[in-house]
């Protein structure tokens, strides 16, 4: 498995992509536990090297603790992503 590929950049808890270009790229948190610990913790995707902002804000009951903060962070990341795409688009012209 190639962990450098964008496909390898997933959330260890939910399996969603946190690769560059995804809305949760800027807010991802490194999963600092080793793979054995991740399995013991019940991570469904223990080969994932990251935790996405949604899972990072989830309590042990599976509820998002601060939905407003999660949505704000994703919206800010989306804004910067769109700006970056617009800048790249202008450079290509």
Residues interacting with Zn ion, by CB under 5 A?
11, 13-14, 52, 55
Q: CA–CA distance from 7 to each of 1, 17, 48, 52, 64 (Å)?
A: 10, 7, 10, 14, 25
Distance in Å, CB of 89 to Zn ion, minimum: 30
Tell me how far, at minimum, the Cβ of 9 lies from Zn ion, in Å: 12
Minimum CB–partner distance for residue 38 and Zn ion (Å): 13
CB of 62 to Zn ion, least distance (A): 12
Q: Which is nearer to Zn ion, 64 or 81 (CB)?
A: 64
Other residues' Cβ atoms within 10 Å of the Cβ of residue 10: 23
Q: Which is nearer to Zn ion, 63 or 87 (CB)?
A: 63
Taking the least distance from each CB to Zn ion, the nearer of 11 and 74 is 11
Round to whole Å and give the CA distance between 27 and 29: 7
- Residues pairing with 51 in the sheet: 29
Pick between residue 44 and residue 82 the one whose CB is nearest to Zn ion.
44
Identify which of 64, 46, 53, 60 has the alpha carbon closest to the alpha carbon of residue 3: 46
């Amino acid at each position: 498995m190639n962990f450098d590929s964008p496909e390898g950049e997933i959330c260890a808890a939910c399996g969603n992509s946190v690769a560059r270009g995804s809305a949760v790229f800027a807010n991802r948190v490194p999963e600092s536990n080793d793979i054995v610990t991740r399995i013991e913790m019940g991570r469904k995707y223990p080969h994932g090297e990251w935790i996405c902002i949604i899972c990072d804000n989830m309590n042990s009951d599976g509820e998002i603790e601060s939905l407003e903060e999660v949505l704000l962070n994703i919206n800010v990341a989306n804004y910067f992503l769109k700006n970056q795409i617009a800048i790249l688009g202008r450079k290509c012209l």
